[in-house]
Structure 1
Amino acid sequence: MSHARRERILALAALGRGVLARLAVLREVSTLLGEVILAIGRLLRGKARFDRADAWAVVQASGAGALGVVSLVNLLVGAILAFVGAVQLLKFGAGQFVADLVSIATVREMAAVITAVVLSGRTGAAFAARIATMQGNEEVDALKTLGVSPVEFLVLPRVLALTLMTPLLYAYACAVGLLGGWAVSAGMLDLSSHLYWSRSADALAGTHFVLGAGKSLAFGFLVAFAGCFHGLRAGRNAAAVGEATTRAVVSGIVGVIVIDAVFALCAYALDV
């Protein structure tokens, strides 16, 4: 066998192994997703088994615990949008349209996306680290031995908590982002508060909020699912926790961008 032919065979073998590995991951994702859906069904029938106190702690950590960083990031993003927009709009004598720019961009896109990215780096990473640590300590195996489903006990509370809290954080992020835009508009453009808020209200429509809220629901589910998925897939060694956390954050952020692109295409097709 020639060297060139051997190299081609090795390359094809490596490609095949890569494809099989991706298919295996896809199968694991589909399996966990199905188990989560079944667990939600059992919860609705009152048959799900999980610690209510732990679920409430997850809700607090996912919601109120994230207010500080969500406030800071969205305030700065709103201010940056207003500043960059003002620099360009002032060239055409249209500085008053900064309010329209900030309000639409914040409500339709930035508040949901930025909040989801923050939650991926904060809450999604925490979910992955917690479950990966339990995996390493064989606590997940102990739950199975006791007849308790790890999906119901660990995954379900986290997925529901973040899915329900993300739209609330999105609404809060919209208000904070508009406040950041108002601060720059008032300071840089001498735009009156009444004009800024009235133009913002006129520019926004109910469909903008529906689109943003729908995105935030999908983002919350994705971030929580990614964190739990990689936590459950973690190995038993010391490096497994860090690897699971890194994978959860990266896959969460990439997934958020992909879903946002899908929403953008759907909104364009539906003329929303």
Structure 2
Amino acid sequence: MASLRFLITFYTHPLVVGILAFTFLLACTLLVLYASSQRAILKRKTLLGLVSLSTFLWLFFILSILLCTYYEHEYLEYPLRIVKLIASISALAALTISLILAALVNRRTKQYFLRNAPLCSFTKRERALLAKICATRNLPPVTFKKIRKEFPNAYSLSGKQDIIFFTKGLLDNLGPRELEAVILHEYAHLANKDSTTRIYLAIMAKIIFFDPVLRYVHRTIGREMEFMADDYAVAKLHQKKALLSALRNINDYHLAHESFLPSLYSLKPEQVFLDERIARLANY
């Protein structure tokens, strides 16, 4: 590990202070935009910007400490040159790693879900019902898949091939109007590319588990995505009854079985804001 004296010298160098100050100013700007904006999409983008800055900063600190340790002896001979070298490499590497990590997480995680989902076949009745809903609503084509799980839930994955997953329990427990509301809700997620954002945030929240900013953003964006998708479904249906009934049925199942609602985008079971969504729709 680099000596404390070297680290203090490095982090008080004007170049490093400039990098940290610029990042801090960007973070403050994003916070102001988030607090002042009334547009949900803009608020989400500002929060994602904060996540990117947070990831960059943690990587910058880790890389710079490692490089300070590696170049400590050279620093004694060429102090200014070594400080500039470490700062430049750390900043560029942190930025590059952040971008690569985001791309890998989104691509590999989706492939993992597709490979490991316990799929089963739709019944004729279910296929006919899904086709009827899509035709009636003139919905763009997506791939529907059925998961062999008893808990009622639905997921969506956006990409080259948009996919909506239904669990067996959901199809068994919901009526046609409720299922239609759920499908419209998932179409909203697909239109907004929510799965890409949520998968990235879920994985990053596990990697940088000690970052309170990331935990807050992960939960806040997840809530906003669900609210926006609910609003879309209600607007398309011109009523809230079907979606509210579907959410209550899902919630009742998990309360009766004393279980949590597993989320596709989390690495552990959690309730996807069901109580908040039900209360919000009830007062819609």
Q: Counting helix residues as a fraction of each chain, which structure ranks higher?
A: 1
Bigger RCO (CA 8 Å, 6+ sep): 1
Pairwise same-fold verdict (TM > 0.5): no
- Scaled by the length of structure 2, what TM-score is found? 0.29
